[in-house]
Structure 1
Amino acid sequence: MPQPRRFRLALAAALLVAVPSAALSACSAGSDAETLLIRPDTPETTLGALKVQDVLLVTGPEGGGGPLAVVASVYNGGAATDRLELISVNELPQNAAITPAPNRPQLQIPQGQTLTVGGPGNTTAVLQNPDNIVRAGDTRLVTFRFAQSGVVTLWVPVQPAVGYLQGYGPGGS
């Protein structure tokens, strides 16, 4: 048997064994794999058809007091459009000043879409922090109010605007 033909047969045999075993091994984890139990380390909750996820309060890069930026994603899995009305922190006297993103002037969350709060080009929500009550390392109760779905409150960590949060702090810090 010529050398190239033997090589092709060996290659075909190797592929015949490798391809099905790779495909079958991917399925062996099943629908109850432990990796499905991994949850994000940021707070999340549901309120009717809304999923409020990845919620953080972000201080300036120094981590001390001063204004706070809210970071969150709100996904609308329902059939009707909803609208973000307010964000507040229980210890602070004023609600967040919310500035809509150019593509969401009414703070609406249409069916099947996400409203992103915080970060460049997105809706922003900034809370004044008089007397530096809230600082990096704290955990605070944050309340979101929506026009259709109502009110939801969750415990949220306070992080400084460093590392992957750089650019998400108050004033884009």
Structure 2
Amino acid sequence: MSSSRSSLRRGAVAAAVLALSSLSLAGCGAGFDAGTNQIRPDNVLKRVGDIQLQNVTVITSEDADGPASITARIFNGGDEDETLGGISFRSDGGTGTFVLSPADGGSLTVPAGGHLMLGGEGNASAIVQNAGDQDITDGEAQQLTFELSATGDIDVRALVFPAEDITYEEWGPSASPSGDGPEQDAAEGGESPEAEESPGTGESPEGELPAEGEAQDDGAGLDDGVGGDDTDDDGDDDADDAAGVDVPADGVESAR
């Protein structure tokens, strides 16, 4: 009897030790400061008050003396909207400012609980001309200052990458369009190829119309962009439209 009691006692002690160790391990991942909650972006992360800057990067063009642009996501965790008033830089060549332009129909507001995306198609932009003359050099860490309406100045150091880097090729400064394109050829009298019936557009019963609210597939694809983190939070974040060729609306006749 004594040996069986001893065995039971040892088993109870082992179970208690196992339970306590499980609780201690579970506690390591609990709370707001848990290690699993500390996910950092690939590049610059800077928080001042309610404003957080993420993935701040300076991207140069293929021409060393060409423009440079900034890609970044600015998050606002506060209850009031803020406005991005400017971005300046300091380098061995002196100081300067990036020219800010809002997205089409947009603004440079960082909404409360939201974010503002810089760089990439359809987003606000920040560009400086003659980057080489400004000593903005690939591989360097560029000193930048973001000016917010309520938070004030936020200083960060952002890495400089070339636009031909596959990671940033869709985010660099845009080049001026050149060369003859399909639209110009058409304007000069070139013939357009005969329209073909799109796959999946078979004949409909005569007089029958598509159901109200039914959208037609335009065939365009979307590529998700960098960055981020997005609620765009960014994160945000950012979609680049794939380019397509416009087809005249009267190029396809409905089958009767």
TM-score by length of 1: 0.74
> 8 Å contact 2:143–2:156 — kept in the other structure?
yes
**Structure 1 segment 139-158 matched on structure 2, within 5 A:** 139-158=141-160
Q: How many residue pairs were aligned?
A: 145
**Deviations 1:18-75, CA, capped at 9 Å, x for gaps:** xxxxxxxxx968337755455223011112111111100001146x443110111001
**Deviations 1:79-129, CA, capped at 9 Å, x for gaps:** 101000001111254311111012522x11111111000011000000122
Match of 1:30 in 2: 29
> 8 Å contact 1:61–1:169 — kept in the other structure?
no
Q: Tell me: CA distance 1:144–1:130, structure 2 relative to 1, closer, same or farther (3 Å).
A: same
Q: Tell me: CA distance 1:137–1:85, structure 2 relative to 1, closer, same or farther (3 Å).
A: same
> 8 Å contact 1:120–1:172 — kept in the other structure?
no
Counterparts of 1:85 and 1:33 in 2: how far apart (Å)? 35
Runs of 4+ aligned structure 1 residues displaced above 6 Å come to: none
Higher relative contact order (CA 8 A, sep 6+): 1
Q: Tell me: CA distance 1:103–1:71, structure 2 relative to 1, closer, same or farther (3 Å).
A: same
Cα RMSD for the two superposed structures = 2.4
Match of residue 171, structure 2, among 162, 168, 171: 168
**Structure 1 segment 1-173 matched on structure 2, within 5 A:** 30-31=29-30, 35-61=36-62, 64-91=64-91, 92-105=94-107, 107-128=108-129, 129-131=131-133, 133-161=135-163, 162-171=165-174
Question: Which structure has the larger Rg over C-alpha atoms?
Answer: 2
Match of 1:7 in 2: none
The aligned amino acid for 2:119 is: G
Match of 1:12 in 2: none
Counterparts of 1:68 and 1:156 in 2: how far apart (Å)? 13
TM-score by length of 2: 0.51
